[in-house]
Structure 1
Amino acid sequence: MSAVIEKGSKVTLHFSLKLDDGSLVDSTPPEKPASLIIGDGNLPEGFEETLLGLSAGEDRASRIPPEKAFGMPNPNNVQRIPRGSFASGVELEEGLVMSFSDAANSELPGVVRAFDDEAVEVDFNHPLSGRHLIFEVQILDVQTP
């Protein structure tokens, strides 16, 4: 009997992550599956729930609600930054993803939502927050803890 995925299992799999309209957000290349440990905090709750109980050779597709994926957008994560804070040569455009440093000097991605001569509105929410996602997996190997 093959091993079943449980908390602490090391899992090797192929996955694809899609939006509700079917457009692909992320996936593993055919020659390079992903490996992960269930419960190590690297996967959102809804993704881990999809994997629990599966064995090598099984496939599953699940629709993950935002609350169990990347959360709902937080209005406090949208900030207006003075235009002068940006280097003069930076060409701003809506949807541009930029890297910022937070108070701890960690890198934080932000998406330019709007801008004028005075300020730039930057959204620091996860780009997939508020979205329902389709998580498709193909389990290749399971090693129990």
Structure 2
Amino acid sequence: MSTVKAGDTVNVHYHGKLTDGTTFDSSEGREPLQFTVGEGQVIKGFDDALIDMKIGDKKTVNIPVEEAYGPAAAENFIEFPKSEFPEDLKPEVGVQLHLSDNQGNHFPVIVHEVKEDSVVLDANHPLAGKALVFDIELVSIG
């Protein structure tokens, strides 16, 4: 039976959790995730975990911050004056908002802190700074 190597296209079922057991994503009830191993289409720790797996294999892998979404970067915290928010929007810590850059690209941010005259937004990936745990099942290769 063949095993997974870099360059193989694979189909996997997965259950992604934080280290406290909170689920953040799962393929349950959906088609398996398909990607090519070693091409950077998924986080490094997930990619690396598939090497040498056989069809039907299941494993649980602990992925450190550096092999997941990396640490939260200080430069991705942006402070905006409250006056730049729409009048009907009352920002609260933990709420997700969407910003646009000068090129018209939209990206999600989380309200990190609400100050008297400004709001600090976190534009890091929501899983940045977090170690992750994945239960993985290899469904097919190729």
The answer to whether TM tops 0.5 is yes
The answer as to 2:94 corresponding to 1:95 is: yes
Per the alignment, residue 60 of structure 1 pairs with: 59
Over aligned residue pairs, what C-alpha RMSD do you find?
A: 1.3
Change (3 A) 1:121 1:31: closer
Identity %: 28
Q: Does 1:70 align with 2:57?
A: no
Aligned counterparts of 1:133 and 1:89: Cα–Cα separation in 2: 37
Alignment match, 1:83: 82
- Give the length in aligned residue pairs: 142
Report the counterpart of residue 32 of structure 2 in structure 1: 33
Amino acid at match of 2:141: V
| Letter of the 2:129 counterpart | G
Structure 2: 5+ residue stretches without partners: none
Structure 1 residue runs of 5 or longer lacking an equivalent are none
> What per-residue deviation string (whole Å, max 9, x for no partner) do you get for residues 10-29 of structure 1?
11110011011111110002
TM-score under structure 2 normalisation?
0.93
How do 1:98-137 and structure 2 match up within 5 A?
A: 98-137=97-136
TM-score by length of 1: 0.91
Secondary structure of 1:49 counterpart: helix
Distance in 2 separating the partners of 1:28 and 1:71:
23
Q: Distance in 2 between matches of 1:90 and 1:8?
A: 47
Residue pair 2:94, 2:111 contacting (<8 A) in 1 also: yes
